[in-house]
Structure formats: C-alpha cells, structure tokens
Amino acid sequence: MKFKVFGRNSGLRVSELALGTGNFGTGWGHGAEPEEAKKIFDQYVSAGGNFFDTANAYQRGESESLLGDFIASDRDQFVVATKYSNATAPDAGISRTGNSRKNMVRAVEESLKRLKTDRIDLYWVHISDGVTPMEEILRGLDDLVRSGKVIYAGLSNFPAWRIARADLMADLKGWSPIIGIQIEYSLAERSPDRELIPMAESLGLGITTWSPLGGGFLTGKYREHHMDTRLTKLGMLVHTEKSEKETELLNMILSIADELGASPTHIAIAWLLDKAARSTTSIIPILGPRTVEQLDATLGALDISLPPEMVARLDAASAVALGVPHEQINSSYRSLSGGNDLQVLIKPA
C-alpha cells in the first residue's frame, strides 16, 4: 500500500486506504465480534495500512475500546482518528451531544481512555450541529492541540462555506489549522464535486471519504437480496436503485467488472483511487468491512488499474449536475474572454 501526505496543511503520512472501525463491536446490535475485528485489523496492517478511523459514538464506544486494545503494542506506527459530536448512548442527554466546547472537552477525555492512549492523531468534529459558533469550535480544537491531547484537527460532514470560513479564521487568528475534511463520496454520491472537493483542493485540505461502496449498493448485492437486513438497519446510509440513473450506473459497473475480470467492489474502489491520483490533494477512501473476507475483497482494488476509457465511462454515468452558479460560469467562460480560448487563465485557483 502506498503512503501519502494528508493534504498541504500537514506533514501527516497516511496509507492510501484508511480502515474505518465502525463495525468493530456489536453495541448497535450488528457488527464484528472482537475476534473478527482483530483479524480485520491484522489483515489491514499486513497490507501496509496505518490509518484508522473511528468515533466515540461507533458501537456506543466499543469501537474505540477495541481499537485501543489493538494499537497498544505499536502505538507510534499508527495514525488514529476519532470524532465527537454524536451521542455515545441513546440516553446521553443534550449536554453530551453537539459541537460545543463543553462536549468537546468531555468527549476527548473519554475517547483517550477508551483508546488507551495519551493523544489522538486526528480529531474530527463529526457533524455540524448548526448551532455552535465556528469560533468556539476552532478555539477548543486549538487548545486541545496546544495541550498535546490532539495532534491535528478536521471537520467531518460540514458545509463548504463553514469549512472555508474556518480555514481562513484559523489562519488569521493563528490557531491550529484544519488539515482535512471527511465526506461521503463515491460513484453513488458525487454531489461533493459541486463545492466540497474543489474547495478542499484549493485550500490544500486532505479528504477522507466514507461509504465508498454506497453502503453496499455499488457491489450489486442488493439486486439479489432486496430484503437484506442491512437496508433496514442503516437506512439512509445505503444507496438504492431509486431511479433509472442508479440502474444505469450499476449496470455500467457490472459491465466493466466483467470486462476486467474483477468484482464490482474492485471497480468502485479503483475509481476512487484513480480520482485520488488525479486530484491536487490527498483523497483517502475509508473501508468499513464487517468481516475479514470483506476486507480482502476490497483490498483487491489495489491491483486494479482502470483504463482511461473506462474511467471516462464511469465519470459520465455517475456525474451530477453542478447547478447554480457553476453551470452559468462554465457556459460564460468564452464570452468573458472575448471569444478567445482563455478558460484556464480566468478560472479561479
């Protein structure tokens, strides 16, 4: 597995695929038992991976606890990322959720105990609560970095305008920078192409992408198992064939997989890796296997090289309309340049 520097705002070195540990444990009533979770961990490390993504809320804290056990013997070799914002338990109460400094300070102490470590390499604000001022979030993260309990900070599932404002604010105030964002992104969900990815590339933010298989949709397995219990357990996290576009996309993936003698899983991940290779920043897909067999099936994508023609077909089948004002801007380049071919010169950096 190759390694990348995570964005242009840090020197953090991470593997090209991260291991998401949301399935470590059974606190949600589904997931991997500790023995299976350890096998997944060992297989990922054997493949050269060093980047782990968890959260205080995953499996009601069990994910962090198990990961803490697994990394203990060689802590310095691993990059551990966790998150706060969501409740660890259903009865957590209003003061134990959200982006507030109060919840941040409490959550980081609990995560450090579960992870059995003295620092968190990358601390994500899990999701925007729409209430807490960005100044409060950034100052809280800066204090955690200065204390040594957190090394780097990032924003997960935030709108682009808030991330851009946070990036500038941290720079002007001399606070610890935001080094990356975490978003859902895959062949099944390309809306970040409108704002989030161009913003991250411009600002030099690293990108981690969750649900690279669209919750399993891109594997094609739900065509044969329409009543799969995962659909009812995860709900909105699983994409489905809700329109002709999804059907055409899945048909395209299955066709390309057949042409290359690969699996649909390989194609979906290989497309992301190709996207990462074409990007001006680092894009790191987060794998979220529940079994070691699922991990093995996913890691096989590292051996797939998609021909440019196939990438173009997948790009076209999965593309989303950019909307306002991007489509108007794109159509106006020529008139703005007096009819000359100056698109590259007048496009914003």
Q: How far apart are CA 277 and CA 160, in angstroms?
A: 22
* Upper half-sphere CA count for residue 223 (Cβ side, 13 Å): 10
Annotated catalytic residue within 58, 123, 185, 222? 58
Question: Helix 62-71 to helix 34-46 angle, to the nearest 10 degrees?
Answer: 50
At residue 84, the 3 state secondary structure works out as strand
- 6 and 81 Cβ atoms separated by less than 8 Å: no
At residue 97, the 3 state secondary structure works out as coil
At residue 179, the 3 state secondary structure works out as strand
Residue 206, C-beta contacts closer than 8 angstroms, at least 6 positions apart: 6, 7, 9, 10, 12, 14, 154, 179, 180, 181, 200, 281, 282, 283, 284
Phi, psi torsion values for 209, nearest 5 degrees: -115, 125
Q: Which two tokens stand for residue 229?
A: 């219990």
Nearest Cα neighbor of 178 from 209, 213, 137, 210 is 137
Residue 264, C-beta contacts closer than 8 angstroms, at least 6 positions apart: 218, 219, 220, 250, 253, 254, 257
- Tokens 């997989």 belong to which residue? 257
58 is catalytic: yes
Q: Which two tokens stand for residue 95?
A: 């003061």
Distances (CA, A) of 34 to 88, 131, 234, 256, 260: 19, 37, 21, 36, 36
Q: Which two tokens stand for residue 250?
A: 């899945």
* Upper half-sphere CA count for residue 239 (Cβ side, 13 Å): 25
Catalytic amino acids?
A: 58
